[in-house]
């Protein structure tokens, strides 16, 4: 059953570590097409879902890194956040926080 697009941000916050792509997010919302989900999201919120998805993941990652103790490994933090490993987390943070050229 398709959920109301207004619930999309709540769903992303609740299932953030599971929703690694817009396709997965769209499925969790009950959409059969990520393209239809993206259009509905853009129309309702005025932003692309990829931008919102990346921003929420970036904030969660930066907060986890800031709040971790010195004994916690980067690998453990990455796995807790839903990344496959610490290299994936590093590349994601670099891609999303880098200034455009």
Would the pTM count as exceeding 0.95? no
Question: For domain 5-97, is the CATH number 2.60.40.3880?
Answer: no
Domain residue ranges in the chain: 5-97
How many separate helices (H) and strands (E) can be counted in the chain?
A: 6, 0
Residue 42 contacts residue 22 (beta carbons within 8 Å): no
| Mean pLDDT rounded to a whole number for the chain | 93
Q: What is the pLDDT of residues 32-76, one digit of tens each?
A: 999 999 999 999 999 999 999 999 999 999 999 999 998 999 999
99 band by pLDDT with thresholds 50, 70 and 90: low
For residues 96 and 51, is the Cβ–Cβ distance under 8 A? no
CA dihedral 93, 95, 96, 101 (to 10 degrees): 140
């Amino acid at each position: 059953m398709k959920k109301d697009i207004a619930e999309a941000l709540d769903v992303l916050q609740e299932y953030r570590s599971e929703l690694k792509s817009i396709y997965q997010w769209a499925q969790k919302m009950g959409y059969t097409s990520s393209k239809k989900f993206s259009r509905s999201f853009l129309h309702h919120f005025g932003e692309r879902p990829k931008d919102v998805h990346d921003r929420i993941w970036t904030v969660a990652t930066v907060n986890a890194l800031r709040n971790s103790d010195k004994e916690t490994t980067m690998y453990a933090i990455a796995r807790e956040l839903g990344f496959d490993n610490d290299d994936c987390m590093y590349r994601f943070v670099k891609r999303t926080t880098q200034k455009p050229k």
